[in-house]
Amino acid sequence: MPSQRILGRRRAAMNREVVVTCAVTGSGDTVGKHPAIPVTPEEIAAAAIEAAQAGAAVAHIHVRDPATGKAVRRLELYREVVERVRASGVDVIVNLTAGMGGDYVPEPEEPWRGGAGTDMASVKDRLVHVEELRPEICTLDCGSMNYAQSAYVSTPDMLRGMAVRIKAAGVKPEMEVFDLGHVWQAKMLVEEGLITAPPLFQLCMGIPYGAEANPRAVLAMRDLLPAGAVFAAFAIGRMQMPMVAQAVLMGGHVRIGLEDNLWLDKGVYASNGDLVTRACEIVRLMGGRVLGPAEARAKLGLKAR
């Protein structure tokens, strides 16, 4: 039998049992660029339910200020969204972002000072909503990086502190990695025993200035994941649906949603339900099967709720 690892590279068959995640609104400046970005807790909860009914097993959730549409991390907004989803009777795995609280926007004249848009929070404050609401999954952004005009800050000690609190809350961290160095930092958490097996990774492709959204970059990141890891991958904009196919071919799961892409076709605005339906169709045309929430819990190693 040939080795399953050659020079550190992993051979993986196509994934035929696929978990679909829908990221329903995000934190980006998309309000006004699309006629129906979910903003209020009622709209965000409805979007999560719509995605679940279209075939998504997981709803990835940010919240926004209902008055301005800007991304925020207010506990009462998360609470209302989660309570509405749970009260709906629709089974969906709730995945709350824990990525807020690390944004640094330099003041133009004094770049060593944080300017408008800076939101730097403590480890505890980044996780208030996770520890209070106990979703099945929350994200853990595994490293600092540059964006177009700002930076995201998540140091190794911050990551350790967050991992400890997430584990104590009984929540599964989805380790978001935007580049090869992030994979390295995430593996550090696994090696230090801070992540419960199986480790869950999200490969985030095409976000300036992380890893590019192409097959070689996805393959490089996938091949560095620790043994036994479960992973998904997504890309933004026009690469969203091509990445669905690439992720499945490389043995992974998929993520789509209005957080990452606003369009169904050229000139046609998408809804979260549209994007889930399209992604599920791609999986099925490739010979795969889309898993429901109960099967997804078993696949991702989630504790029964």
Evaluate whether 91 touches 120 at the Cβ level (below 8 Å): no
Bridge partner residues of 20 (DSSP): 254
First to last CA, the chain: 40
Q: Which residues contact 199 (CB under 8 A, 6 or more apart)?
A: 175, 186, 190, 225, 226, 228, 229, 230
Evaluate whether 236 touches 260 at the Cβ level (below 8 Å): yes
Quote the tokens at residue 221: 């990141």
Tens digit of each residue's pLDDT, the chain (305 residues): 444 443 344 556 899 999 999 999 999 999 999 999 999 999 999 999 999 999 999 999 999 999 999 999 999 999 999 999 999 999 999 999 999 988 999 999 999 898 998 888 999 999 999 999 999 999 999 999 998 889 999 999 999 999 999 999 999 999 999 999 999 999 999 999 999 999 999 999 999 999 999 999 999 999 999 999 999 999 999 999 999 999 999 999 999 999 999 999 999 999 999 999 999 999 999 999 999 999 999 999 997 66
Which residue ranges form the domains of the chain, and what is each CATH number?
Answer: 5-300 (3.20.20.70)
